[in-house]
Amino acid sequence: MQSVDKKIEKSIKSKPKGSLVLPDDYLTFGSSDAIRKALDRLEDKKVIIRVAHGIYVRPKISKLIGPIRPSAEKVAEAIAKRDRIRTLPTGSYALNALGLSTQVPMNIVLLTDGSPREIKVGKRTIKFKKTTPKNLLVKGKISSLVIQALKEIGNGKVTADEEQKILDLLKKENEKDLKHDIVLAPVWIQKIMKKVLKDGKD
């Protein structure tokens, strides 16, 4: 009979390097206490590295800089999966995700239906902000980012170039999701998003 430690170590070593490791992945292996202790021991053995509370990574090792840590974006995704919460990128993070800004934000701000908190990942911060359920009703991945990015730019401040980029991105969105999401946006954002639908009908 393999110990919890051995079973978890074997499972982690079968994952590709760079994979995130969450205690919830091993609920069938033993009690939560046994899993936590096993992960602590594997961290001591350098099999995994802790990147945030309850989140580890099987590190990729670079000859030049040593262990490569996962991006804050990947950690944010892992937290959302672990806590079964919905999240929505906002502000400069939404602009960056759409390619409207080349600046990588130091702080990732996510709207969520989970508990508000801040998590440090290296030099960057992930901030979960509690929001109203209405904000999380959006279905489309692109249209939800567009709404938040436009809110960040501000009414009347969207350049022709930015608008064109946004419309090109929205053309890739599922039309059913897009129509659903337009209704949830502020009126000035609805006007921009509806241009995509008009184009499609010409």
* Structural domain harbouring 100: 72-201
Q: Are residues 52 and 115 in the same domain?
A: no
DSSP string, 106-130: SEEEEEESS--EEEEETTEEEEEEE
Q: How many domains does the chain have?
A: 2
Assign residue 33 the CATH number of its domain: 1.10.10
Q: What is the pLDDT of residue 1?
A: 58
How high is the pLDDT of residue 69?
87
Does residue 51 sit in the same domain as residue 76?
Answer: no
Same-domain status, 36 and 82? no
CA-CA-CA-CA torsion sign (64, 67, 72, 77): positive
The tens-digit pLDDT sequence of the chain (202 residues) is 578 899 999 999 999 999 999 999 999 999 999 999 999 999 999 999 999 888 999 999 888 888 888 999 999 999 998 899 999 999 999 999 999 999 888 999 999 999 999 999 888 999 999 998 888 999 999 999 999 999 999 999 999 999 999 999 999 999 999 999 999 999 999 999 999 997 655 4
Q: DSSP characters for 1-55?
A: ---HHHHHHHHHHTSPTT-EE-GGGGGGGS-HHHHHHHHHHHHHTTSSEEEETTE
Whether residues 146 and 171 share a domain: the answer is yes
* Same-domain pairing of 106 and 187: yes
Report pLDDT for 126. 95
Supply the pLDDT for residue 201.
Answer: 54
- Residue that finishes a domain, picked among 29, 51, 68: 68
The answer for 99, left when phi > 0, alpha when psi is -120 to 50, beta otherwise, is left
Same domain as 148, residue 113: yes
CB 18 within 8 A of CB 30: no
Is pTM, for the whole model, over 0.85?
Answer: no
pLDDT at 202: 44
DSSP code for 68: E
Q: Is 195 found in the same domain as 114?
A: yes
Residues 96 and 145 in one domain: yes
Residues 158 and 120 grouped into a single domain: yes
Mark whether 87 and 181 lie in a shared domain.
yes
Where a domain ends, among 68, 84, 118? 68
Same domain, 96 and 172: yes
Q: Which domain-ending residue is among 68, 84, 114?
A: 68
